[in-house]
Amino acid sequence: MPIWVYALGSVFIVSLTSLAGAITLSLGPKRLQKLLFLLVAFAVGAMLGGALLHLIPESYERLGGGPRTGLLVLAGVMAFFVLEKFLHWQHQHGAPEAIEGATGHSHDHGHSHGDPLATMSIVGTVAHHLIDGAVVAAAYGVSIEAGLVTTLAVMAHEVPQQIGMFGILVYAGLKPRRALLYNFLAGLATIPGALLVLLMAGETSGDALYTWLLPVTAGSFLYVAGSDLIPELNRRHSYPATKAVGQLAMMLLGIGLMAVLLLLGHG
């Protein structure tokens, strides 16, 4: 029962990150853009640190030596590559025009994109949150430490993505309050995602299911950080040295957080 409490409580907290779009209602586009890229940098550090300091070493401990862990990590990378292609997640990652739309400067573009963009974005977000809920529940099945690390890494990634998602919905023509509501409802998909894994584990060998999903989760973190987030940091917005230093500091902060959790877990 404790696993259920920890997992469902954590995924509900993760779902609340869908309300991060409300930040855009009080910030101007320039300030928001600066904040967004710092959050992306922190997410890169948290996801890389979570995968390389926690999930992959834990996977080797549980699966032993040999290629199995590496193959499962690669399976996670490939699975997210295919999923991203299928759902066209590229619409959700920090487009400057989406940020402008979220702050009320691009309403004239919304009608040209219309419902298809909003629908695709919502479908992609629901699928994304289902997977988030599943990987968080699977991590808690391994250990409390792994679950906490996974939850924090997922949240770090979700905050900037949800700001971008909110911008996409407004850019597509939705009013800000309706966009925030739809984003929150899509975020609640973390709960059935977690329940699915918990129920499957209850009917089969739960420990084996959790163990095999752990390196797949690590692979997904490596893919998202390397394929989606780091390229965002290397776009034209990141050329000034001061911004690069700030992003590096935030990446190190994310890695440092995961290192501290590692020390506390072994303390």
pLDDT at 197 over 80: yes
- Rounded to whole angstroms, what are the CA distances from 157 to 20, 200, 208, 221? 12, 26, 27, 9
* Paired tokens of 163: 């700001």
Separation of alpha carbons 72 and 232, rounded Å: 26
Higher local confidence (pLDDT), 114 or 266: 266
Higher local confidence (pLDDT), 60 or 47: 60
pLDDT at 191 over 90: yes
Higher local confidence (pLDDT), 240 or 194: 194
Per-residue model confidence as pLDDT tens digits over 214-225: 888 888 889 888
Residue 236, pLDDT score: 57
Residue tagged 């996977």 (tokens): 59
The mean-pLDDT minimum among 101-105, 174-178, 231-235 falls in 101-105
pLDDT bracket for residue 263 (50, 70, 90): confident
Q: What integer is the mean pLDDT of 237-260?
A: 82
Q: For the chain, what is the mean pLDDT?
A: 77
Higher local confidence (pLDDT), 235 or 96: 235
Higher local confidence (pLDDT), 167 or 141: 141
Instruction: Collect all residues with Cβ–Cβ distance below 8 Å to 71 and sequence separation of at least 6.
Output: none
Angle 90-99-186 from CA coordinates, rounded to 5°: 60
pLDDT at 50 over 80: yes
Separation of alpha carbons 121 and 117, rounded Å: 6
Give the start-to-end residue ranges of the domains of the chain.
2-17+28-260
pLDDT at 207 over 70: no
Separation of alpha carbons 54 and 60, rounded Å: 10
Residue 79, pLDDT score: 86
DSSP letter at 54 equals I
Q: What integer is the mean pLDDT of 30-58?
A: 82
Per-residue model confidence as pLDDT tens digits over 88-124: 544 444 444 444 444 444 444 444 444 555 676 677 6
Residue 243, pLDDT score: 79
pLDDT bracket for residue 198 (50, 70, 90): confident
Higher local confidence (pLDDT), 107 or 171: 171
- The angle, 0 to 180 degrees and rounded to 10, between the axes of the packed helices 2-15 and 144-171 is 20
Per-residue model confidence as pLDDT tens digits over 122-141: 776 787 788 889 889 988 88
Residue 107, pLDDT score: 41
Residue tagged 């699975």 (tokens): 79
Residue 90, pLDDT score: 46
Q: What integer is the mean pLDDT of 168-178?
A: 75
Candidates 126, 125, 127, 149; CA nearest to 217 is 149
Angle 154-256-84 from CA coordinates, rounded to 5°: 30
